[in-house]
Structure 1
Amino acid sequence: MGETPRLVASDIDGTLLGDDRRLSARTTAVLERVAAAGTPVVLVTGRPIRWLQMVYDQLSAPLPAICANGAVVYDPDTDQVLRADPLDPQLLAEVARRLRAAVPEVSFAVEIVDSREMRHEAHYPLRWDADHEAIRAVESPEELASVPAVKLLARAGTQDPDAFVQVVAGALEGLAEATHSSYSGLVEISAAGVTKAAGLAWYAARIGVRQSDVLAFGDMPNDVPMLTWAGRAVAVANAHPAVLEIADEVTGANTADGVATYLEKVFGVG
């Protein structure tokens, strides 16, 4: 990428946000200056739609988002989903069946209604928004797979995330995508071909930006497809080794405004 990027795409957690899950004043200002100068900025995240508001509350204007690891493209100005690519119920049931056979102790949750709601098995350990009205336990495995889901979440007690995702990916080869974005042993499963790269490619084409003109930032394995696809891939210094290995460049850590530092240099907005 020799010219100024025409689209900036960034992961949220561990990349834009500090460890306190807050946007620094510097990062907020730089994102807003880049967007105001005419270069679109899009958030590309594993988060569901219902987790975006806590980020939007820290910005003067919300940014479009590619959610659920590429399964949902969301316009916050109109509160509309522009594109969704879920696992259909038949596929969801088959994925769950294969994983129960491979990992008998596995437990599941699903992100439904374009990730505005979540359903989970009774023994699935909730880490966030457990009391939210959009979160509900199901009474049977059949109910879990009764409606399309933009993401299936799998846990099996304490697991090494890199090893566990390999087990899951092996069981689902050719059927679905498996990745992870945390160190808690959670594996995130999407329909085959649904990745952050696919969602970002669709969005870039929609606004008329070439792949080579996209600048992307990330930190975890679920960012690897997006970073591999983008014209310029930048990892934050705290990134997972898989991300550091494929990135074109490395900027400062999320706790040191790494994305803001890089954007200030590229766009001269510091």
Structure 2
Amino acid sequence: MGRLPRLVATDLDGTLLRADKTVSPRTVEAISRISAEGVGVVLVTGRPIRWLGHVYEQLGQPLPTVCANGAVVYDPVTDEVLRADPLAPELLAEVVRRLRAEVPDVAFAVEVTDSREFRHETAYPLSWDRGYPDIRMLDTPAALHSVPAVKLLARAGAQDPDVFVKVVAGALAGLAEATHSSYSGLVEISAAGVTKAAGLAWYCTRHGFDAAEVVAFGDMPNDVPMLTWVGRAVAVANAHPAVLEIADDVTAGNEEDGVAAYLEALLDPGDGESGLVDPPA
């Protein structure tokens, strides 16, 4: 598979992490080995900052992270937000207005304070955020767009996410970005131009990496912009069809440590175990 990249960028859920949200010892070792070779590693995720601590603990190192689908670039060593690109209150208000008109039963939540805090409407169902601090139910509808938000989340009952995201994107064309990263019918909305690719590109410019020098791993539609931007795009075998369609390589699934297998093959090219489901083009 040629020489080592200068930077490895990887999604978390469904890609680097197993279904139980753990990082396998094999994956930790592979990341440690490639870092020791001088290759940078950056996490690129839809997750907010508040969901990153247990990942850093498992990895044994606080890796730089592009959060909230590209809206936040975070340095966990200094606990500093290096860049944030939120939806302004007036833009949030217009997005909400359009979506309420298009999807009458839609319920919203927002990631605020650079994704350290979460605010949700009464009808918005909580799952992962149960029990977390800094989670608050909104008192009034207007409170939803009273402050800037790095991400707006929309749900409308049981939905096919691929269909629902098209409805949302159509209603918001030219106004904001809409994507999804799960099969639960959740749509994630960011400011126009804010994607994982944009966040990663900003990080690369800051640190002197070219897109051609980056290998990236992903599994869901919110990873597609990043995967089409980098020099080598790798999908895990369990990836969404939209990701499998544009990937340069397909490695083993997240439950089989596909990212680790691919990195091991880069590090030990003569061992004969490529880690690939599909050979490189």
Sort the TM-score into its range (normalised by shorter chain). over 0.9
Match of 2:94 in 1: 94
> 1:176, 1:267 → 2: CA distance?
40
> 1:133, 1:62 → 2: CA distance?
21
Match of 2:144 in 1: 144
| 3-state SS of 1:158 partner | coil
Deviation digits for residues 156-189 of structure 1 (CA, Å, limit 9, x no counterpart)? 0000000000000000000000000000000000
| 3-state SS of 2:209 partner | coil
Match of 1:25 in 2: 25
Q: List runs of 5+ in structure 1 lacking aligned partners.
A: none
Structure 1 residue 70 corresponds to structure 2 residue 70:
yes
User: RMSD over aligned Cα, in angstroms?
Assistant: 1.2
**Matched pairs, number:** 270
Q: Letter of the aligned partner of 1:73 in structure 2?
A: V
Question: 1:61-140 residue pairs with structure 2 within 5 A?
Answer: 61-140=61-140
Q: Letter of the aligned partner of 1:61 in structure 2?
A: Q
Match of 1:60 in 2: 60
Q: 1:49 to 1:42 in 2, by over 3 A?
A: same
What's the CA shift for 1:2? 5.4
What's the CA shift for 1:263? 0.5
> 2:3, 2:264 → 1: CA distance?
15
Match of 1:215 in 2: 215
> 2:132, 2:159 → 1: CA distance?
26
% identical equivalent positions: 71
> 1:129, 1:166 → 2: CA distance?
26
The range that moved more, 52-61 or 255-264, is: 52-61
Q: Letter of the aligned partner of 1:69 in structure 2?
A: N
What's the CA shift for 1:4? 2.1
Question: 1:1-270 residue pairs with structure 2 within 5 A?
Answer: 3-268=3-268
Contact 2:89 2:147 in 1 (8 A): yes
> 1:256, 1:132 → 2: CA distance?
30
> 2:179, 2:258 → 1: CA distance?
24
